């Protein structure tokens, strides 16, 4: 009997064992294939990064080599700098450096990219490269050469010693022997060198991208918790018996805020207030939104009434974006017939009743100015209209104050109209007639009248 069982089980066990070995071998082969593919990707990205940093150094040298009046060459070389820097940034993102301090180098490349792009696309006849910008380019040329040399040193060690990027990833993930990894040490050296570079004056157009909005200019003394509770009950239109739960955020920083949650009999409303001045910056009603029953016109009218009740007067709707049974409206301040786009409030409404379910006013809170000084247009509406594309079919026009790419507030003629089957807003500088901004818009009734 046992012999018969052995005769059956032994071959079966042998087959299963062989199957397990084959399966394990195939799994190991597939794993090795995945690891090899990842290693090849890392190696290619790293060597491309080293190559593009060398190219960046060369293109910056080209900008400095040509005459200061060679506008065409400046356009060409600065465009190349922007393109190459963008490629280098992309290659850094493909390397396993998320756990490695390399932020200074990434920020440095980002600033070069923004600086070169904005310098490449501008009109040199009206705004040539300044002496300060040429000094910046000289400093960038020197710095990029040093970074390129450091990366080439790492590259030579990688090739000579057959180093693997998968070991870098493992070292960063486990934090074991990371201090002894040649590649990691090389990238730390690069980032340390970049952090030691003196800060350049990138100009307002680039600095505005990186400068964090400050709340130091907010007026008013710090609000107490009792003040916030009273304001929360008022803004929530809460009846008797409503409860307020208060949470303090960002204590000890310049971004100190309060989150107030008002719980009533039928709904819960959450609001955020600045601690300095006790200003409302967001509002959210968590009620369930039903099927659409009201028009966008009715909803935007209700949104405007809501803002007036909350103390935001002279607000004008400028855009609407509908999705499902809800709609977002953007309102801006209107002063002396001019729309002030930096003072923006976004309102969310449910199309079941048209009532407001939320809004965001941080832009308005930080940018609002009482009696803002607005200069008169330097050119007439008729002259500005001549700057438009002849095929542009104008629907409306108005004066608007916007923030341009240089981070400066400029008065513009805003033209809304259609061309190529789509609707656009075109903002022309009210003094020069040049295009400050062009945007394709989604329209909704009542949002741009």
- pTM, two decimals, is 0.64
Q: How many helices (H) and strands (E) does the chain have?
A: 11, 12
What pLDDT does residue 198 have?
74
pLDDT classification of 35: cutoffs 50, 70, 90: low
Say if residue 37's pLDDT is above 70.
yes
DSSP state of 13: H
The model's pLDDT over 130-182, given as tens digits with 9 standing for 90+, comes to 888 888 889 988 988 998 888 888 888 888 877 777 776 666 666 554 445 77
54-71 residues labelled b (16+ CB within 10 A) or e (exposed): bbbbbbbebbeeeeeeee
What is the per-residue pLDDT for 442?
63
**pLDDT, tens digit (0-9, with 9 covering 90-100), for 261-287:** 988 767 788 989 988 888 888 889 888
Stretch 248-257: mean pLDDT, rounded?
78
212 has pLDDT over 60? no
From 212-226, 235-249, 332-346, 355-369, the region with the lowest mean pLDDT: 212-226
Q: What is the pLDDT of residues 326-374, one digit of tens each?
A: 999 999 999 989 999 999 999 999 999 999 999 898 888 888 888 888 9
Q: How confident is the model at residue 207 (pLDDT cuts 50, 70, 90)?
A: low
Please provide residue 423's backbone torsions phi and psi, each rounded to the nearest 5 degrees: -105, 140
Residue 96 has pLDDT above 60, yes or no: yes
Query: CB under 8 Å to 168, separation ≥6 — which residues?
Result: 42, 96, 181, 183, 184
Residue 448: predicted pLDDT: 46
Residue 446 has pLDDT above 50, yes or no: no
Q: How many residues does the chain have?
A: 449
CB of 361 within 8 A of CB of 281? yes
Neighbours of 222 (CB within 10 A): 11
* Cα torsion angle, 50, 55, 60, 61, sign: positive
Q: Is the pLDDT reported for residue 1 higher than 60? A: no
pLDDT at 255 over 80: no
Domains, the chain, in order of start with CATH, read 30-209 (no CATH), 225-367 (3.30.310), 381-440 (no CATH)
Among 62-76, 136-150, 370-384, whose mean pLDDT is lowest? Answer: 62-76
Query: Is 246 within 8 Å of 225 (Cβ atoms)?
Result: yes
| pLDDT class of 447 with cuts at 50, 70, 90 | very low
Residue keyed to tokens 């207030």: 273
Q: How far apart are the C-alpha atoms of 444 and 327, rounded to whole Å?
A: 10
Q: How does pLDDT run across 308-318, given as a tens digit for each residue?
A: 888 888 899 99
Higher pLDDT, residue 20 or 77: 77
- Cα gap 88→422, rounded to integer Å: 35
Percent of residues, the chain, with pLDDT higher than 90: 23
Q: Which of 38-42, 167-171, 226-230, 332-336 has the lowest mean pLDDT?
A: 167-171
């Amino acid at each position: 009997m046992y012999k018969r069982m052995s005769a059956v089980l032994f071959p079966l066990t042998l087959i299963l064992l062989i199957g397990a070995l084959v399966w394990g071998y195939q799994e190991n082969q597939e794993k090795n294939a995945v690891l090899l593919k990842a290693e090849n990707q890392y190696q290619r990205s790293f060597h491309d990064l080293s190559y593009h940093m060398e190219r960046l150094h060369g293109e910056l040298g080209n900008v400095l080599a040509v005459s200061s009046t060679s506008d065409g060459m400046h356009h060409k070389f600065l465009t190349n700098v922007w393109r190459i820097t963008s490629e280098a940034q992309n290659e850094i993102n493909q390397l396993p450096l998320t756990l490695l301090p390399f932020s200074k180098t990434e920020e440095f490349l980002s600033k070069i990219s923004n600086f070169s792009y904005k310098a490449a696309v501008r009109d040199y006849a009206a705004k040539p490269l300044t002496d300060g910008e040429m000094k910046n380019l000289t400093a960038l040329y020197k710095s990029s050469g040093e970074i390129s040399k450091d990366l080439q040193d790492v590259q030579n060690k990688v090739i000579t010693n057959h180093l693997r990027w998968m070991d870098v990833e493992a070292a960063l993930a486990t934090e074991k022997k990371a201090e002894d990894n040649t590649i990691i040490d090389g990238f730390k050296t690069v980032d340390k060198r970049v952090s030691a570079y003196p800060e350049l004056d990138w100009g307002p157009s680039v600095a505005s991208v990186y400068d964090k909005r400050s709340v130091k200019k907010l007026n008013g003394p710090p609000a107490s918790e009792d003040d916030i509770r009273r304001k929360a009950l008022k803004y929530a239109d809460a009846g008797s018996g409503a409860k307020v739960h208060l949470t303090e955020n960002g204590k000890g920083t310049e971004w100190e805020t309060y989150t107030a949650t008002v719980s009533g009999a039928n709904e819960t409303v959450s609001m955020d207030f600045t601690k300095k001045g006790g200003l409302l910056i967001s509002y959210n009603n968590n009620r369930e939104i039903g099927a659409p029953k009201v028009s966008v016109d009715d909803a935007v009218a209700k949104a405007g009434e809501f803002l007036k009740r909350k103390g935001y007067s002279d607000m004008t709707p400028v855009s609407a974006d509908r999705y499902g049974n809800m709609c977002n409206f953007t309102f801006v301040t209107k002063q002396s017939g001019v729309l002030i786009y930096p003072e923006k409030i976004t309102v969310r409404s449910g199309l079941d009743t048209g009532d407001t379910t939320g809004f965001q006013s941080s832009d308005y809170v930080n940018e609002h100015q009482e009696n803002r000084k607005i200069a008169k247009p330097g050119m007439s509406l008729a002259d500005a209209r001549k700057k438009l594309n002849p095929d542009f079919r104008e629907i409306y026009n108005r004066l608007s104050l916007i923030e341009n790419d240089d981070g400066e507030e400029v008065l513009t003629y805003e033209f809304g109209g259609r061309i190529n089957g789509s609707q656009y807003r075109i903002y022309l500088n009210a003094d020069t007639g040049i295009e400050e901004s062009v945007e394709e818009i989604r329209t909704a009734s009542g949002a741009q009248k």
